[in-house]
Copies of this chain bind each other. A is one copy, B any other.
Amino acid sequence: MRRKPGDDRMLVIGERINSTRTKIREAIKARDTGHIIREAGGQIAAGASYIDVNCAVTTGDELQDMDWVLSVIQSNIPGANICIDSPNHRALEKGLRLCKSKERPFINSITAERARMKNILPLALEYDTKLVALTMDESGMPATASERLAIASRICDSVKKAGFDIGNLYIDALIRPISTEPEQAVEYLRSIKMIKDLGARTICGLSNVSFGLPDRGLINSIFLAMAVSEGLDAAIIDPTEKHVASSLSAADALLGSDEYCAKYIKAFREGRLI
């Protein structure tokens, strides 16, 4: 039980505007302004504090696509907080240059891999961003909590050495599917406190945990509740998915982040809960 009454509410980054999703890819190709606005607005209405924007797998020009998506969101939802998401540092830079996020934008993401760190960390410093870092290096993805901690610790050291404030570093310790590795959720949950003790924050991309299982929203939502209660600082999720939205509303009410459960009761009245 790491979260205490009065702690900040967990930060929600809406994951839907991602070009790995067919409908988003089509909307980007077709320059379908309405679709992008609805996706951004819907996620904000459902409680997202940031909107992730990923244009990496359209077949066109990622930099032009990033430009278009950002201009659509920013001209229709002024001040929307943005998380620029790409493995390509040129696309990240393009996004950051155009970004009018009201709060400090996110870069999603670096890893412990040298090349990625070298290309992307300077952008985080130049544009004064928050920064997502995956616990992944040249040798792959960690399995245990201690392996996650070891990589996170190396990332913290490199980032600090470069002069970046690790209070703005969000470590994603990469949850793996429990269907094939039953101990993975426990190892992930244990890593949350260990990583926070380094001074960094923690973030979770949720949906891998349930890969290969039926009723994935249920597994995701129960895992999210456990992670929030462990002190998870942020999650990249679909806040419009009913299981996830229900779990978040209930967790906020239970952990004292929703005074007198007012938001929970509102979500219930609006039919947003399971």
State the A residues within 8 Å of B (CB): 1, 3-5, 178-179, 182-183, 185-186, 189-190, 192-193, 209, 213-215, 218-219, 221-223, 225-226, 229-230, 243, 246-247, 250-251, 253-256, 258-261, 264-265, 268-269, 273-274
B273 near A254 with CB under 8 A, answer no
A213 near B179 with CB under 8 A, answer no
How many chain copies does the complex carry?
Answer: 2
Those 7 A-B pairs whose CB atoms lie nearest each other, nearest first: A222-B250, A185-B254, A226-B229, A214-B268, A1-B189, A5-B183, A225-B225
**Among B215, B218, B259, B268, which residue has its beta carbon within 8 angstroms of that of A215?**
B268
Least Cβ–Cβ distance between A148 and chain B, in angstroms: 13
A250 near B186 with CB under 8 A, answer no
A254 near B223 with CB under 8 A, answer yes
Q: Which residues of B contact A226 (CB under 8 A)?
A: 225-226, 229, 251, 254
Q: Which residues of B contact A265 (CB under 8 A)?
A: 213-214
Q: Which residues of B contact A223 (CB under 8 A)?
A: 250, 254
B213 near A254 with CB under 8 A, answer no
**Among B186, B243, B254, B268, which residue has its beta carbon within 8 angstroms of that of A178?**
B254
Least Cβ–Cβ distance between A223 and chain B, in angstroms: 5
Least Cβ–Cβ distance between A261 and chain B, in angstroms: 6
Q: Which residues of B contact A189 (CB under 8 A)?
A: 1, 229
A260 near B182 with CB under 8 A, answer yes
**Among B186, B255, B274, which residue has its beta carbon within 8 angstroms of that of A256?**
B186
Q: Which residues of B contact A269 (CB under 8 A)?
A: 214
Q: Which residue of B lies closest to A209 (CB)?
A: B254
Least Cβ–Cβ distance between A187 and chain B, in angstroms: 8
A230 to B229 CA separation, bound complex (whole angstroms): 9
Q: Which residue of B lies closest to A192 (CB)?
A: B1
A219 to B248 CA separation, bound complex (whole angstroms): 10
